[in-house]
Each structure stands twice: as structure tokens, then as C-alpha cells.
């Protein structure tokens, strides 16, 4: 996997981790504990895949990325059926929705990457059997030029910053921010933010 893709995954994990940790403040213990574990795991994984120069525990990360969405859906269905809206009242729509976007992005990229790895491994195995002189280097691992890498990282940073900050502002901790900081020309005026 290229360093650019890994950076995008890392940024998404950092964004999701910070949002999940911010949601802990308004959550009851039963929801708060999984959120803390999830947030810390996302932050740790996000930093480690940059530092270690490889994808750590990709299968587990893939499952972890969609776990919040599954749990949120399950809680929402339960809250609707019982009916007991207080179950999901701490999980506000905007922060959970944005964290879910990050999670789906991570899961999607990991799925494609794992499939390509499997395909490359199969092709390499076949080629080795027929021709021992074949070059087996992975074309995806080519180093990017500094300018290309920086451009990609800056775009990702701006996107993650622009998505994460409104999400944080929509948590209970960030609600006060709107009163003082304005709405950035409507950017922070997202439905559900002040629920």
C-alpha cells in the first residue's frame, strides 16, 4: 500500500478516534466504555500505521471500522422498538454520522487493499511456477514524489479537519463553541448539531 493511502487511512482513524472520545462525555457508562476503547484503538492504530510503515492488523481494523456503525444501528433499532429514545440520546447524529463516514472509508480501502494483496499473491505464485525470472515487486509500493505526497496529504488534512471539527462542535462538549465562535458562514449550522 502506498504511503499516500496509508496517510489517508491514518487521518480517517484519527478523526474517528477523536470524535468517539468526544462523545464519551455525554454518554452513560455502558456506552461510554466501548466508545473509550474504540477511540483509543482508532488513535493508536492511526498513529502506528504511519510510524511502523505498514498496515497493522488489517482484518481486525476492517472489523473495528464498521463496528461503530453496526452498534449504532442496533441501538437505534432497539430504541425505536422498545420505545426508549434515551438509549441513543447521547449518540448525536452529526458526530456519529461523520465518524461513520471515516469508518466506512477505512473499511472500504482496507477491503480493496486486502483483495489486491490476495490477487497479487496468487499471480506471483502462478508466475513463480512458470518463470523464475519474473519481477515480483509490487507496483503499488512505488514511492510518491514529495510534491505529490504533500498535495495528497494536505487535501486529506483539510478534509478531515473540515469534517471533524463540526462533528466535535456537535458533541455536548462542543455545543458551547457555537455560541462564541459563530457558524463560519453557515458551515457549522448542520441539522442535528444543537439537538
Partner 1 sequence: MSKSPNRLLATVFGAVYLLVGLLGFTATSGVGFFDIKGGLLLGIFEVNVFHNVAHLLIGAALLIAGLSSIRASRTVNIVVGAAYLLLGIVGLFILNSAANILAINSADNVLHFGSAVILLGVGLGADKRARARAHA
Residues binding partner 1 (CB under 8 A): 3, 6-7, 10-11, 14-15, 18, 22, 47, 50-51, 53, 146-147, 149-150, 153-154, 156-158, 160-162, 164-165, 168-169, 173-174, 176-185, 187-188
Q: What are the C-alpha distances in Å from 83 to residues 78, 91, 145?
A: 7, 16, 55
Nearer to partner 1, 67 or 177 (CB): 177
Nearer to partner 1, 121 or 158 (CB): 158
Distance of CA 45 to the CA centre of its chain: 10
Give exposure, 173-191, as e/b (b: 16+ Cβ within 10 Å).
Answer: ebeeebeeeeeeeeebebe
Dump the DSSP string for 91-115.
S-HHHHHHHHHHHHHHHHHHHHHHH
Write down the least CB distance from residue 124 to partner 1, Å. 25
Q: Report the distance separating Cα 96 and Cα 46, nearest Å.
A: 18
Write down the least CB distance from residue 45 to partner 1, Å. 13
Q: Report the distance separating Cα 156 and Cα 12, nearest Å.
A: 9
Q: Report the distance separating Cα 193 and Cα 170, nearest Å.
A: 5
Write down the least CB distance from residue 184 to partner 1, Å. 5
Write down the least CB distance from residue 35 to partner 1, Å. 15
Write down the least CB distance from residue 67 to partner 1, Å. 23
CB 71: neighbour CB atoms within 10 A? 15
Amino acid at each position: 500500500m502506498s504511503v499516500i493511502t496509508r496517510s489517508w487511512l491514518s487521518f480517517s482513524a484519527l478523526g474517528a478516534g477523536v470524535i468517539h472520545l468526544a462523545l464519551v462525555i455525554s454518554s452513560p457508562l455502558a456506552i461510554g466504555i466501548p466508545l473509550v476503547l474504540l477511540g483509543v484503538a482508532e488513535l493508536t492504530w492511526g498513529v502506528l500505521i504511519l510510524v511502523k510503515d505498514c498496515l497493522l492488523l488489517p482484518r481486525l481494523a476492517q472489523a473495528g471500522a464498521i463496528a461503530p456503525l453496526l452498534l449504532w444501528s442496533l441501538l437505534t433499532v432497539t430504541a425505536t422498538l422498545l420505545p426508549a429514545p434515551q438509549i441513543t440520546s447521547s449518540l448525536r447524529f452529526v458526530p456519529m454520522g461523520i465518524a461513520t463516514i471515516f469508518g466506512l472509508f477505512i473499511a472500504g480501502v482496507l477491503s480493496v487493499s486486502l483483495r489486491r494483496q490476495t490477487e497479487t499473491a496468487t499471480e506471483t505464485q502462478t508466475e513463480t511456477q512458470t518463470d523464475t525470472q519474473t519481477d515480483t515487486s509490487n507496483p503499488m509500493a512505488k514511492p510518491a514524489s514529495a510534491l505529490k505526497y504533500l498535495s495528497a496529504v494536505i487535501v486529506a488534512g483539510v478534509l478531515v479537519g473540515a469534517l471533524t471539527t463540526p462533528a466535535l462542535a456537535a458533541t455536548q462538549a462542543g455545543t458551547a463553541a457555537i455560541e462564541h465562535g459563530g457558524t463560519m458562514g453557515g458551515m457549522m449550522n448542520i441539522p442535528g448539531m444543537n439537538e
